[in-house]
Amino acid sequence: MMWRRHMKLAAMVVVALIGSVASADVLLLDYQMSQAGPQVEHASVEGGDLTAGNGLAQFELNNTGTPHSSKPVLTIRPDGNNTFTGNAELDTLSIGSEDQQYFSFTMTVGANVTDLDLTEISMNVARGGASNSRKTGFYYKLNGSFLAESNMLKNYEPAVTSPNWNVLSDDLSTISAYQNLVAGDVVEILVPYAVSGAGNAHTFASLHFDDIQVRGEATIIPEPTSLSLVLLGTLAIARRR
Ligand SMILES: [Ca+2]
C-alpha cells in the first residue's frame, strides 16, 4: 500500500514536470564575430551562420584591424553595383529582391520547445569613418515572409565612429509574430546597409558590427534523461520516508 502511494506521488511529480519548464528572459544567441556561427547558443534554438547578401563588396567576419577593444568585428561595405539610394528602398523592403545590401542570420526554434517569446535584439554598430551618413536597422522575417513593415527598425544612423560603439536595440516583445513561436519556426533577421544619397558613391564607407544578441523566454520540455533522474530521485526520497 505504502509503495503504491509513493509511486503515485512520483507520477504526479513527473506529470507536473512534463507540463514543461519555462525560463526567465535568457540570451538565445550571441554573435561575437571571428566566425560565422554564434558563440552563445541557448538550448532552445539553433543559430544559423551570418551570411552576406550579394550586394556587399566586403563582408569580413574576422576583422582584427580595427581599433575596437572587442575585435574581431564584422565589417561590411556595399559593392556599388546597384542603384541603392537608401531610405526609399529600405522602406519598400526591396533589399531582398534587388540590391541585397544586407547580411542576415536565421534562428530555428528547437524540437524541445513548446513556446518561445522573443524579447529583444541588440548589437554594437559603428561607422568606419566620419564621412557620409550610412544607415542600418533590423528587418524581420518569419518562416520566409517579411513581417509587417511597421515592425521594421529602419534608418538608424550610428552617431559615432570606431573605436566607439553605438548600441542599437529593438523591443521584440511588442512584435506579435515573434511571440508564441513553436518548434521548427524559423526567425530570420536582416541587417541592411543604406546610405543617404546615391549608393554608388559610397563603396568605401564601412560599417562595423559586434555582439549581435537575441533574447527571449523559452518553455522547454525536459529531456528524457533529466526526467528519469528526477523520477529516480523522487522514488528514492519516497522510499526513505
Ligand atoms: Ca568581437
pLDDT at 12 over 80: no
**Centre of ligand 1 from the C-alpha of residue 40, in Å:** 12
| pLDDT single digits (tens) 13-36 | 554 555 667 778 999 999 999 999
Grid cell digits, residue 101: 545590401
CA of 214 to the centre of ligand 1 (A): 16
User: If you measure from the C-alpha of residue 205 to the centroid of ligand 1, how many angstroms do you get, rounded to a whole number?
Assistant: 20
Is residue 118 within 8 Å of 226, Cβ to Cβ? no
**What CA dihedral angle connects 176, 49, 112 and 231, to 10 degrees?**
-130
Assign 3-class secondary structure to 111-140.
CCEEEEEEEEEEEEEEECCCCCCEEEEEEE
Q: Measured in angstroms, how far is the CA atom of residue 198 from the centroid of ligand 1?
A: 31
Q: What is the pLDDT of residues 124-155, one digit of tens each?
A: 999 988 876 788 899 999 999 889 888 888 77
Query: What distance in angstroms lies between residue 70's CA and the mean position of ligand 1's atoms?
Result: 5
Measure CA 62 to chain center.
19
Predicted confidence at residue 112, as pLDDT, reads: 92
Cα(34) to centroid(ligand 1), Å: 7
What is the Å distance from ligand 1's center to 104 Cα? 17
Closest CA to 183 of 155, 221, 150: 221
d(CA 112, CA 232): 22
Residue 200: exposure state from Cβ atoms within 10 A (0-12, 13-18, ≥19) = middle
Query: What separation in Å is there between the alpha carbon of 239 and the centre of ligand 1?
Result: 52
CA of 59 relative to ligand 1 center, distance in Å: 15
pTM greater than 0.85: no
Average pLDDT, the chain: 83
